[in-house]
Amino acid sequence: MSKNVKLKVPFAFDDEKRLYNPHIAEKGRHYFCPACKDTVILRKGEIKAPHFAHKASETCNQETIIHRIAKQLILQVISDWKAGQIDPPILKRTCEICRKPKDQPLPDKVECAMLEYRMSDGFVVDVALMVENEPAAAIEIKVSHAVDENKAELLSVPFIELEGQKVIEDPHAFEPIHDQFLSFTCGTCKQAKTRFQVKVNQIAKQTGVELPNRYYRYGFCECWRCKREIIVFAWPKASEWDYSAPKVKPMPKTIQYRYSKTVGSNYWANTCPHCKSIQGDWHLFSEPDGPFFGIRCKENSQDAYKRDMQNIIGYAIYNGVLAES
Ligand SMILES: [Zn+2]
Ligand SMILES: [Zn+2]
Ligand SMILES: [Zn+2]
């Protein structure tokens, strides 16, 4: 590290290891660099903005300073919150259904944060969020290097990665650059999801159709002919032109191998349990009010199933077909 590089110290420790920024720090008190523990000098002059001056150092460096401060700020915010002095820190999440950015307060069950915590898998995390004395989640601080991929994959708890500089700017809002926390559904979507389930259960019961929990994605729509509400299914296909039979048994009874005039041959189609007419793929997947508009079921995995179901529900919400009754 060059001696000429001026180290910036946005926050310094006092004697009790609490962080102060130069605006609230007081002249005549001792402050220390959070990284190397060297004394820093508070400068509050007429011209320059208040700042801490750090002596040129062979050992200290900017990255470590930012990293150390960010961790300490998170610890401080969490302990202030737990002491009832401030509101819970806010996690900036993305709702897995509507894909909108939403604020999620850090769950109450988090008891405290611990820095540089060694997990049972051997990894040391920057911040561990403790629930019942066990690390339940982790926060990694990025200053210049991202969390290495190996660690990201092997870490035994959900984690988020935060930009050190961002934490320093606002330690109360956690805006992850990587979010591996458990998936998050916003309040509005949670309610809409419930209405979707109630609705499909109702239609399924009326029509004697069973709702699967894998492979066959489902939604509801009006039959184009008899106008009654019915359950329709989507299943993984290699392409739009894949007319092979669905691969998982038992097959919902309304999926039938039928002749379609539009297609000009037999194919596996959704049918109406009331009037028996074919519900064409075009009507279901390509019309903006079709229940599977924009949904492309390709992958046959449980993850893909979950994602597609979320998209179907998300589209139903967007389309206004789940309006509160
Ligand atoms: Zn230092
Ligand atoms: Zn949402
Ligand atoms: Zn019908």
Render pLDDT for 241-272 as a digit per residue (tens, 0 to 9). 788 899 999 999 999 999 988 878 898 999 99
41 C-alpha vs ligand 1 centroid, how far in Å? 12
Q: Which ligand is nearest to the CA of 314?
A: 2
Q: Which ligand is nearest to the CA of 6?
A: 1
What local confidence, expressed as pLDDT, does residue 1 receive? 44
Query: What is the C-alpha separation between 133 and 147, in angstroms, rounded?
Result: 25
Q: Which ligand is nearest to the CA of 222?
A: 3
Q: Which ligand is nearest to the CA of 31?
A: 1
Query: What is the C-alpha separation between 222 and 227, in angstroms, rounded?
Result: 5
262 C-alpha vs ligand 2 centroid, how far in Å? 37
Q: Which ligand is nearest to the CA of 54?
A: 1
Confidence of residue 111 (pLDDT cuts 50, 70, 90): very high
Confidence of residue 2 (pLDDT cuts 50, 70, 90): very low
220 C-alpha vs ligand 3 centroid, how far in Å? 12
What local confidence, expressed as pLDDT, does residue 119 receive? 92
8 C-alpha vs ligand 1 centroid, how far in Å? 9
201 C-alpha vs ligand 3 centroid, how far in Å? 18
199 C-alpha vs ligand 2 centroid, how far in Å? 19
Query: What is the C-alpha separation between 272 and 316, in angstroms, rounded?
Result: 20
Query: What is the C-alpha separation between 145 and 63, in angstroms, rounded?
Result: 10
